Amino acid sequence: MSPVPVAVCFVLLLLAGVLFLVPGDFSPGEELISPGAEDIAASSEDTTYPGSDRLRFDDGPEVVYVYLRVEDLAKDGDLHARVQRESKTSALGHLFGGSGLRVVDEDEERLGVSGGGVSGVVKFAVRPASGGHLPPGNYTVAVYTASGGAGESGVVARKYFVVGD
């Protein structure tokens, strides 16, 4: 096989990979899915509940806290969270850099029995796995019930925010 078709195929594959990794439409905000999910907020403050919600973190913080406030939430198990980041880094950056993020249940759930479910606040911390600052990108944190699994049916709420440019 001649080197020209191989080179053309390589360039097409590289271009497809780059286009796949470039984030599409992303809008910071929130999505309250489950009845009982009252509010979800993001902040760089480690507090009981933030006074204001941030959608952008230009300074590249070491941690972003995500707070979920619920009232009479039908709880079928513990609440957990997962994070996803989309960025504009190159295909090689994704290939060799990895996501390196983790979500930690920062403190014990502050939920009490109320009505037909639970009420209170749950706080999660989004951190880089290896320390340092959170890398730039579009972040989605999904809070879900353990019994519902990480699938769509168990999702209680989502928070969308931007780190960096």
Amino acid identity, residue 20?
F
DSSP reduced 3-state for 40: strand
Can you tell me the mean pLDDT for 89-109? 61
Domain ranges of the chain: 25-163
Average pLDDT (114-121) is 86
pTM: 0.76
Query: Cα–Cα distance between 24 and 160 in angstroms, integer?
Result: 14
pLDDT in tens, 5-18: 655 556 555 545 44
Taking CA atoms, 28 is separated from 58, 68, 109, 137, 162, in Å, by 13, 16, 25, 11, 7
Among the four given CATH numbers 3.10.450, 2.60.40, 1.10.390, 1.10.3470, the one describing domain 25-163:
2.60.40
Identify which of 102, 86, 84 has the alpha carbon closest to the alpha carbon of residue 140: 84
Residue 46 pLDDT > 90, yes or no?
yes
Rounded average pLDDT over 71-76: 84
Phi and psi at 150, nearest 5°, equal: -85, 5
- pLDDT surpasses 50 at 62: yes
Mean pLDDT of 37-48: 95
Residue 112 clears pLDDT 60, i.e. is over it: yes
Measured between its terminal Cα atoms, the distance across the chain in Å is 44
Alpha carbon distance 81, 150 (integer Å): 8
CA-closest candidate to residue 135, choices 97, 92, 104: 97
